[in-house]
Amino acid sequence: MTLGDRLLLAWIALAAVVFVALLFVPAPYGRYARRAWGPTIASRWAWLLMEAPAVLVMAGMFAFGRHRDSWTAVAFLVLWLLHYVPRAFVDPFLWREPTRRTPLAIVAMAIVFNVVNGLANGATLFDRPPGYRDAWLADPRFLLGTAIFALGYAINRDADRRLRHLRGPGESGYRIPRGGLFRWVSCPNYLGEIVIWCGWAIATWSLAGLAFALWTVANLAPRARDHQRFYRERFPEYPPERRALVPGVW
Ligand code: NDP
């Protein structure tokens, strides 16, 4: 086992610790933002600062990687950027949350996460010998993983779009989301995000991809449970059959 693999296993162990911590303390951004977490900045700039490193680090790893001369490497870069460019540079300016602020502590943690995650995935994809050859584009793991990635992407984008339209300009309250996968779960955006990175893990067939999928579950499964509880407490008419994250299951 290489040093890189050992570091990734330690990184996965840290995800498990974060998962347990988030079961007790919701990440303090969005509806759970609290003054006790110290200085804050406007949430849209927070999102840009948090997510931009994912774009920059991956683009840098591609530019300087020693094993990036294949269409497969290009395909992985395109998938990554398809997700992260809108997330970093477009979405923050579409959310309707004029007064929402995010603690700098959260911004700092998200930056560290995106830098480490970008380095791990970028090194695996573009630098680690022997690299991904063009034949990987026809491998069943790549084809299945990419299809799952696309499915998750569609679910995540649709859910985030529906959430955006719950508020009019300048509004900041909460409403019951409806339509799409909201019929079955409270957080289809999180479900879509988890599906995306599970697809990525399969398509890359790598420890770095698996680590990202596990980190996504660690971050978002506790938050989905908290959102579910939030909706049930706030809205007596909240659809009782709606699960938190996985239709019909949980
Ligand atoms: P939320 O669902 O908490 O909020 C998304 C946006 O919708 C916010 O602007 C929020 O406003 C607004 N919103 C949510 N619910 C309602 C409602 N019922 N009524 C009105 N407005 C609402 O998602 P996150 O902010 O946690 O995540 C945003 C995206 O980032 C998601 O796609 C998520 O999957 C992704 N993400 C990925 C992570 C990963 O580990 N890969 C980690 C965290 C997020 P407000 O901010 O005011 O609550």
pLDDT per residue as tens digits for the range 140-176: 999 999 999 999 999 999 999 999 999 988 788 999 9
**What rounded mean pLDDT belongs to the chain?**
96
The rounded distance, in Å, linking the Cα atoms of 102 and 241 is 32
Q: Is the pLDDT of residue 98 over 80?
A: no
Stretch 5-9: mean pLDDT: 97
Other Cβ atoms less than 10 A from the Cβ of 22: the count is 18
Which pLDDT score, from 0 to 100, does residue 171 have? 85
Mutate to test the pocket of ligand 1, among 160, 167, 175, 185 (most ligand atoms within 8 A of CB): 160
CB 50 within 8 A of CB 193: no
pLDDT, tens digit (0-9, with 9 covering 90-100), for 79-95: 999 999 999 999 999 98
Mutate to test the pocket of ligand 1, among 100, 171, 189, 245 (most ligand atoms within 8 A of CB): 189
Which pLDDT score, from 0 to 100, does residue 125 have? 98
Q: Whose CA is nearest to atom 25 of ligand 1?
A: 30
Which pLDDT score, from 0 to 100, does residue 105 have? 96
| Model confidence band, residue 207 (pLDDT cutoffs 50, 70, 90) | very high
**156-177 residues labelled b (16+ CB within 10 A) or e (exposed):** bbbbbebbeeebeeeeeeeeeb
CB 106 within 8 A of CB 46: yes
The rounded distance, in Å, linking the Cα atoms of 37 and 39 is 7
pLDDT, tens digit (0-9, with 9 covering 90-100), for 101-111: 999 999 999 99
Q: Is the pLDDT of residue 97 over 80?
A: no
Which pLDDT score, from 0 to 100, does residue 168 have? 87
Which pLDDT score, from 0 to 100, does residue 172 have? 82
| Model confidence band, residue 100 (pLDDT cutoffs 50, 70, 90) | confident
Q: What is the percent of the chain where pLDDT is above 70?
A: 99
Kindly state the helix (H) or strand (E) to which residue 41 belongs, with its residue range.
strand 40-42
CB 67 within 8 A of CB 128: yes
- Pick the closest to residue 127 from 190, 62, 66 (CA basis): 66
Q: 212 C-alpha vs ligand 1 centroid, how far in Å?
A: 19
Q: Is the pLDDT of residue 206 over 90?
A: yes
Pocket lining: 190 vs ligand 1, CB cutoff 6 Å? yes
Which pLDDT score, from 0 to 100, does residue 170 have? 78
CB 34 within 8 A of CB 233: no
Which pLDDT score, from 0 to 100, does residue 96 have? 79
Q: Whose CA is nearest to atom 15 of ligand 1?
A: 163
Which pLDDT score, from 0 to 100, does residue 141 have? 98
pTM, two decimal places: 0.97
pLDDT, tens digit (0-9, with 9 covering 90-100), for 20-66: 999 999 999 999 988 899 999 999 999 999 999 999 999 999 999 99
Q: Is the pLDDT of residue 210 over 90?
A: yes
Interhelix angle 71-89/188-204, nearest 10 degrees: 160
